[in-house]
């Protein structure tokens, strides 16, 4: 099929990866009201077209934490992303590094921090959850330090997992034991290309960063169950200060939707915050990042960097978020769809597509610099 936009990568990935995996990446919580709201509210942002502004030379790059990024874009952390292609996070990290944008590796990635750093030649940003086992959290922080990860993204909007009905229907969750395994194997067998490239040549199929806790041969459903049982609902602002005390580099707090929470995050030592509702995967009915962003910019925009995610499907969406005051934009599902569709080549093409779309949007709004 011809890939002209991100939606085409989505369709190609749907055809290539097992159903349960596609549903996990694609879906939101409950009735997906917030997931759809992210898309709708972002598409409703009106841009001001300007003319005769000399846009022959455009610069979409920014400086962030002492580094030059080719675009104000970060490939967002997405759990299980690396199962969409053979050692997928390594492939995506290579594409991101070549394009000059960061990839943020999820705690629940298929590939370990160390594998991604070695395989791509560049240490990824690292995303951390607060789990009950503080020893595990401390160990993950040490591993991120040892790998020279440039930034830590601390996700705070997951004290408990959201109710994701699509994952239950697909058999990824809720159907454990033999029944669940049989369902997932049957779905994988319906994608023979994936079975060969990922299922056989891409082993081990584990959540690499947590495999040491449960063992490399543990079924995927057991990994997910362990995580669900170990997210810490007692986590509070003191825990953020504890993480700050253990991490000397840039600390980015992800999952902020309220101005008071933004102020608390900055007070606790955050160098940046991500205005985010977890891609519509947690509280269904929550504000979209688009609606939450202006109030948070007013509250802390003068004192910290502000990132935003949710609903990003094009370079035009990057400009939309920038127009509302975001410094940097995160995109998650697009790069994972591209990875599932075409591997590293797909992620490279997706980033180039975003840049081309952003440059057109800059030219038509008369913006020489992002």
pLDDT of 111 reads 96
Residues of the chain with pLDDT under 50: none
pLDDT of 180 reads 77
pLDDT of 217 reads 62
pLDDT of 175 reads 67
CA–CA separation, 264 and 240 (whole Å): 10
SS3 339: helix
pLDDT of 295 reads 98
pLDDT of 36 reads 98
CA–CA separation, 98 and 77 (whole Å): 18
Which of 110, 114, 103 has the alpha carbon at shortest distance from 139? 114
On whether the 6-364 domain is CATH 3.40.50.2300, my answer is no
pLDDT of 221 reads 65
Residue 340 tokens read as: 């599932």
For residue 258, indicate whether it is catalytic: no
- Any idea what DSSP says for residue 131? B
Q: Out of 278, 281, 313, 320, pick the active-site residue.
A: 278
What is the crossing angle of helices 177-189 and 220-230, to 10°? 120
Q: What is the DSSP string of 275-314?
A: E--GGGTSSTTPPPHHHHHHHHHHHHTTTSEEEEESS--S
Where do the domains of the chain lie? 6-364
pLDDT of 243 reads 97
pLDDT of 315 reads 98
User: CA torsion sign, 249 to 254 to 260 to 264?
Assistant: negative
For the chain, how are helix, strand and coil distributed in percent, rounded to 5?
A: 50, 10, 35
pLDDT of 87 reads 97
- CB atoms under 10 Å from CB of 205, counted, come to 18
């Amino acid at each position: 099929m011809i890939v002209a936009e991100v939606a085409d990568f989505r369709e190609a990935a749907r055809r290539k990866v097992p159903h349960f995996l596609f549903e996990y990446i694609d879906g939101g919580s409950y009735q997906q009201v917030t997931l759809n709201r992210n898309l709708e509210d972002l598409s409703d942002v009106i841009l001001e077209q300007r003319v005769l502004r000399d846009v022959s030379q455009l610069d979409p790059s920014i400086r962030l934490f002492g580094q030059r990024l080719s675009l104000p874009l970060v490939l967002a952390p997405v759990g299980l992303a690396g199962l969409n292609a053979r050692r997928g996070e390594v492939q995506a990290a290579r594409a991101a590094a070549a394009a000059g944008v960061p990839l943020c590796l999820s705690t629940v990635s298929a590939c370990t921090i160390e594998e991604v750093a070695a395989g791509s030649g560049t240490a990824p940003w690292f995303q951390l959850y607060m789990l009950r086992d503080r020893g595990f959290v401390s160990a993950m922080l040490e591993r991120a330090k040892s790998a020279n990860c440039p930034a830590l993204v601390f996700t705070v909007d997951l004290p408990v997992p959201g109710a994701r009905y699509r994952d239950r229907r697909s058999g990824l969750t809720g159907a454990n034991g033999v029944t669940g395994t049989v369902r997932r194997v049957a779905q994988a067998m319906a994608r023979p290309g994936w079975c060969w490239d990922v299922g056989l040549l891409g082993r081990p199929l584990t959540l690499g960063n947590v495999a040491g806790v449960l063992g490399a041969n543990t079924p995927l459903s057991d990994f997910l169950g362990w995580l669900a049982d170990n997210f810490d609902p007692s986590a509070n602002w003191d825990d953020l200060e504890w993480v700050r005390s253990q991490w000397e580099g840039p600390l980015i707090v992800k999952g902020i939707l309220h101005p008071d929470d933004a102020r608390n995050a900055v007070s606790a030592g955050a160098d940046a915050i991500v205005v985010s509702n977890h891609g519509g995967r947690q509280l269904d009915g929550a504000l979209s990042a688009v609606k939450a962003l202006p109030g948070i910019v007013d509250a802390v925009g003068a004192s910290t960097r502000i990132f935003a995610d949710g609903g990003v499907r094009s370079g035009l969406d990057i400009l939309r978020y920038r127009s509302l005051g975001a410094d940097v934009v995160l995109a998650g599902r697009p790069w994972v769809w591209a990875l599932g569709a075409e591997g590293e080549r797909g992620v490279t093409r997706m980033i180039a597509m975003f840049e081309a779309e952003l440059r057109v949007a800059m030219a038509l709004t008369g913006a020489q610099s992002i």
